[in-house]
Amino acid sequence: MRTMWNEACTEVSVAIVVQPVLKAVYMCDEVHRMEFTTRHATVFACFRLRNLRFAHAGVYFVELYCGGEFIDDRRLQVLGEQEEEP
């Protein structure tokens, strides 16, 4: 996998994708810059997405992009009003 590096720094953005159709329901217009200590460093990041409403309960994925390339995703379970966490 090729990632765009510039002095251990890259641009990072996120998208929210609904399963099972894997259609993007939210694409972050804001691009963040992250610095890494080395090319092989593991970096944890927290992004706050404001004013984001989910059309329905279900499984979504939060996708991470670095330099425009897909890097990783995390599963997000959105509960309905009457549902409780297992």
Would you say residue 83 lies in a domain? no
| Contact (CB, 8 A) for 65 and 14 | yes
Domain that holds residue 52: 9-78
Query: What's the pTM value of the predicted model, to 2 decimals?
Result: 0.68
Mean pLDDT of all residues in 21-29 = 75
Phi first, then psi: give them for residue 69, nearest 5 degrees.
-105, 140
Would you say residue 13 lies in a domain? yes
Look up residue 38 and give its DSSP letter: S
Query: For 56-73, how does the pLDDT look when each residue is reduced to its tens digit (9 = 90+)?
Result: 888 999 888 888 888 889
Total tally of structural domains belonging to the chain? 1
| pLDDT of 1 over the 50 cut | no
CA distances from 83 to 8, 74, 76, 78 (A): 43, 21, 15, 9
